[in-house]
């Protein structure tokens, strides 16, 4: 874990940092050299996915996918296409995977 973190932090490319809580998911692009946030997106900012069904798992997956697509759109507006994916120790499945797929569909390469 420490070795992969060191590799991620030393990279000259921006990193796509993901945080998920029980209810929400957040993504941010961080410039490693300056230590500053370039763009930020979360499902709190996006309200287009509403609870159509009572299945909250599928709604959370849809929101995560939309957050990934939104962060990719904002990154492309800043002329960023290649990033390092920092999943912060979360397993690559569920909402994390959905967010990554949305970002890839939006044009980010990682």
User: What is the predicted pLDDT for the residue at 51?
Assistant: 52
User: What is the predicted pLDDT for the residue at 26?
Assistant: 96
> Which residue intervals of 1-110 are DSSP H helices?
2-10, 56-77, 95-105
User: What is the predicted pLDDT for the residue at 55?
Assistant: 72
d(CA 104, CA 101): 5
User: What is the predicted pLDDT for the residue at 102?
Assistant: 96
User: What is the predicted pLDDT for the residue at 11?
Assistant: 78
Contact 82, 109 (CB under 8 A): yes
User: What is the predicted pLDDT for the residue at 82?
Assistant: 94
* Burial class of residue 56 in the structure, from the number of CB atoms within 10 Å of its CB (0-12 exposed, 13-18 middle, 19+ buried): exposed
User: What is the predicted pLDDT for the residue at 49?
Assistant: 59
In order along the chain (110 residues), what is the average pLDDT of each group of 10 residues? 65 91 95 92 79 73 95 96 91 95 95
Contact 22, 43 (CB under 8 A): no
Give pTM, 2 decimals.
Answer: 0.86
Query: What are the chain's domains?
Result: 2-105 (3.30.420.100)
Contacts of 16 (CB under 8 A, 6+ apart): 27, 28, 29, 71, 83, 84, 85, 86, 103, 108, 110
């Amino acid at each position: 874990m420490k070795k992969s973190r060191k590799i991620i932090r030393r990279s000259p490319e921006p990193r796509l940092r993901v945080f998920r809580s029980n209810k929400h998911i957040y993504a941010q692009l961080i410039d490693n050299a300056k230590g500053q946030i370039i763009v930020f997106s979360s499902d709190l900012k996006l309200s287009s996915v509403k609870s159509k069904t009572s299945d909250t798992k599928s709604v959370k997956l849809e929101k995560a996918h939309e957050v990934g697509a939104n962060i990719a759109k904002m990154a492309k507006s800043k002329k960023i296409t290649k990033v390092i994916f920092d999943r912060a120790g979360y397993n690559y499945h569920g909402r994390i995977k959905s967010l990554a797929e949305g970002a890839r569909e939006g044009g980010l390469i990682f």
